[in-house]
Amino acid sequence: MSIVPTILCGGAGSRLWPLSREMHPKPFIRLADGQSLLQKAFLRGAMLPDVKEILTVTNRELLFKTEDDFREVNGNKIGTSYILEPFGRNTAAAIAAAALHIAKAHGEDAIMLVLAADHLITDQQAFADAVKQALALAKQGKLVTFGIHPAAPETGYGYIEAEGNHVVRFVEKPSLEKAQDYLASGRFLWNSGMFCFEAGIMLQALEQHCPEILAATAACIEASRLAEGKGFSQLDLDPDGFRNVPDNSIDYAVMEKSDRVAVIPCDIGWSDIGSWSALGELTNCDDQGNRIIGEALLHDVSDCYIRSDQRLVGAVGVDNLIIVDTPDALLVADKSRSQDVKQLYATLKAQGHEAHRLHLTVHRPWGTYTVLEENVQYKIKRIVVKPGASLSLQMHHHRSEHWIVVSGMAKVVNGDRELYVNTNESTYIPAGHKHRLENPGILDLVMIEVQSGQYLGEDDIVRFQDNYGRAG
């Protein structure tokens, strides 16, 4: 039997701003144990029996971050394949593409286990048991959903009314009153957004209930680029084709219409970590109910969640606040209003403010760079290059660069010269010089770059050759 966990890794995570950004969404947030939600989703799938490959559907721009996350935890070398979206098109398009891809690669009877990349499941054993039940139903041709026994009258989730594994009906996000009724009745489950089915059965259901989505997705895949290797495949969805796929959720498009749907009621320690309140609860609290990550000094403070990577946080006489400090942006919110953080995010996005999109530390295929200081005259970056990685062979028209290696060893192309720059050595790249930075070693290369020139924008770059397909 072939089971392919299919991780849907998308979403802005706008409610966890400023920790989450458009290019650093919720799946990449790390918990106290050092693992990201995405890594946890990967391991959740990888730890199941008979899993040899995990398929991830994600945004093209998040591929390198996703690969980095997987590399850290993929000890037993499970195959990783990717479907790369040029932009988000909701879950029906993502699942249709995944089903087409898996049916072709592994046959129509291959079983897909659709997992969200940004949920937390604390009881892996109960999860594995639920998956086992789901597999049995999937093999009978069912479209299986996972329903969570509700712990509170949440109004932010969809509900499933169930009798055993039978789905009576799906219900959209209810009013508080209805949610209380649902909770009291014992007949309703939270719709977790996880599914299990044979690829072929999903394709049949798409054909039956939303043939336009299936057809447009199939056409898009036809026009798309597929790269394959050993234990690796990467389907880069064609933007023009993908734009033709109707935007709909798999619940609307298929699940709520199909008579093949079944549900597995679960108690698996599930949370969608949908707000700072929810994320905060994962940190232990002190006697005053404060949950602290980082350095904080409190005077008469209670029930606060304080998270700071670098700065000291002093607080006096406050209660029930969320305080989240990042290098370029700070959030102070009343805990009861944590859902409204998404309003700030929406405003920042509408303003085109950089703080909605990027952190000061930006991930690149070769490593990261962090802007330490920036003004009209100069820009200072810390650049970390992974062992064996290389930046593109490039040139800038308007800026020259001073490179100082502070850890590791760099191999540098500087105009016509090729040289090694060791820790505590430096080199100077004049404007107009072709140059390249490479880490030939087995430890991270850390370099301080001081840029100087009349224009210091990231778009002053001409790439001649690039290991990651970004040249010309």
Give the interface with a copy of itself as residue ranges (CB under 8 A).
Answer: 17-18, 297, 299-300, 308, 310-318, 321, 323, 325, 327-334, 336-338, 340-341, 343-344, 347-348, 353, 355, 372-373, 377-378, 380, 382, 400, 402, 404, 406-407, 423-424, 426, 428, 446, 448, 450, 452-453
Angle formed by the axes of helices 199-209 and 211-222, nearest 10°: 120
Q: Rounded to 5 degrees, what are φ and ψ at 82? A: -135, 140
CB nearer a copy of itself, residue 252 or residue 378:
378
- Beta carbon of residue 156, minimum distance to a copy of itself (angstroms, whole number): 17
DSSP calls for 145-195: EEEEPPSS--SSS-EEEEETTEEEEEEPSPPHHHHHHHHHHS-EEEEEEEE
- Beta carbon of residue 287, minimum distance to a copy of itself (angstroms, whole number): 18
CB nearer a copy of itself, residue 140 or residue 343:
343
- Beta carbon of residue 365, minimum distance to a copy of itself (angstroms, whole number): 24
CB nearer a copy of itself, residue 129 or residue 425:
425
- Beta carbon of residue 59, minimum distance to a copy of itself (angstroms, whole number): 24
Buried b (16+ CB within 10 A) or exposed e, 108-131: eebbbbbbbbbbbbeeeeebeebb
- Beta carbon of residue 383, minimum distance to a copy of itself (angstroms, whole number): 12
CB nearer a copy of itself, residue 110 or residue 296:
296
CB nearer a copy of itself, residue 122 or residue 351:
351
Question: Is the dihedral angle over the CA atoms 40, 46, 47, 48 positive or is it negative?
Answer: positive
Q: How far apart are the first and last CA of the chain?
A: 44
CB nearer a copy of itself, residue 79 or residue 453:
453
**Would you call the peptide bond into 430 cis, given omega within 30 degrees of 0 as the criterion?**
no
Output the six-digit token pair for 30.
Answer: 């790390």
CB nearer a copy of itself, residue 16 or residue 84:
16
The kind and range of the H/E element at 65 are helix 63-73
Q: How far apart are CA 207 and CA 222, in angstroms?
A: 17
CB nearer a copy of itself, residue 210 or residue 341:
341
- Beta carbon of residue 17, minimum distance to a copy of itself (angstroms, whole number): 7
Exposed (0-12), middle (13-18) or buried (19+): which is 180, by Cβ within 10 Å?
Answer: middle
CB nearer a copy of itself, residue 328 or residue 418:
328
Q: How far apart are CA 414 and CA 428, in angstroms?
A: 8
Residues 6+ positions from 173 with CB-CB distance below 8 Å: 155, 156, 157, 158
CB nearer a copy of itself, residue 1 or residue 376:
376
- Beta carbon of residue 321, minimum distance to a copy of itself (angstroms, whole number): 7
Q: How far apart are CA 202 and CA 187, in angstroms?
A: 26
CB nearer a copy of itself, residue 209 or residue 337:
337
DSSP calls for 401-467: EEEEEEES-EEEEETTEEEEE-TT-EEEE-TT--EEEE--SSS-EEEEEEEEES---TT--EEEE-T
The alpha-carbon radius of gyration of the chain (Å, integer) is 24
Residue type, 197: F
